[in-house]
Structure 1
Amino acid sequence: MKVKKIPMRMCTGCMEMKPKKELIRIVKSPEGEVSVDLTGKKSGRGAYICKNKECLEKAFKTKKLNRSLETQISEEIFIKLREEVSDEQ
């Protein structure tokens, strides 16, 4: 029987490779709107974060999330992301 390949993605906070299902996808739509993509299927540029606050804080503080999404993320979007991450845990 063939072994199914598990898609791996890198967390922008801790820079560790983890299975895609263990991470939260943050997407910038073609219109420039940043949102949390819980399905992992929204169109646009995506970045992945672990489901803990430390990784989100680190990615935001070092501006890695801004660079990977190629946009400036406002404080209110960051607060919304923080609420989503705390809901996941």
Structure 2
Amino acid sequence: MPTRSCVGCRRRREKSELLRLVATSVGRLSLDATQRAPGRGVYICASASCLQRAHVSRGFARGLRRKLADQPLDQLQQRVLAALDQAVIALRQQARRDGRAVDDPEADGGVRVVEPKCAAQLESWAAQRAAVAEPVGETDAVRGKRGRRGKRAPSEQEKK
């Protein structure tokens, strides 16, 4: 399985474990749930902390090698969640049309997927959505001791 690096934490993981984001023509980030959109994309772990790190460190613009429109972190998080929701709905509908799923009022979304590969993809997206939906914390907690530009934060003695 191919591996990719997360632009937030820079860890290498299998491609299927990461979310792929691409830039739209107006410079906004968009989730590529199927990981097949044309052009350059960046990969990120399915976690709110990695999303925040990549946003603060400008990892998205660096990975995409282009300037991006300013987008608040909470708005980006909501767009990723909405795109994951749409991908789940689309996959369920496609599975129903193809005969890979059956109607089941007791199942999540009213559809029970019977094909293992399709069910695994739905479970993966549900887990990624839950991880991204975590509340976004304070920006300074992500920066650590070095701050935004890689400079060490002044100690209490240096502040005096």
TM-score (norm 1): 0.78
Q: Retained in 2: the 8 A contact 1:66–1:73?
A: no
Q: Gaps (5+ residues) in structure 1?
A: 1-5
1:60 pairs with 2:85: no
Tell me the residue number matched to 1:45: 40
Structure 1 runs, 4 residues or longer, greater than 4 Å off: none
Tell me the residue number matched to 1:28: 23
Higher relative contact order (CA 8 A, sep 6+): 1
Deviations for 1:16-38, whole angstroms, at most 9, x for unmatched residues? 00000110000125x35531100
The CA deviation at 1:72 is 1.7
For 1:41 and 1:79, the matched residues in 2 are separated by 25
Q: Gaps (5+ residues) in structure 2?
A: 85-128, 131-160
From the CA coordinates, give the structure whose radius of gyration is larger.
2
How many residues align? The count is: 82
Q: Retained in 1: the 8 A contact 2:26–2:69?
A: no
Q: Which has the higher strand share?
A: 1
The CA deviation at 1:49 is 0.5
The CA deviation at 1:50 is 0.3
Determine which of 5, 14, 38 is the counterpart of 1:10.
5
1:71 pairs with 2:70: no
For 2:81 and 2:44, the matched residues in 1 are separated by 9
Deviations for 1:35-70, whole angstroms, at most 9, x for unmatched residues? 110000001110000000000100000111111112
Q: Which has the higher helix share?
A: 2
For 2:60 and 2:38, the matched residues in 1 are separated by 17
- Quick one: which amino acid aligns to residue 70 of structure 2? S
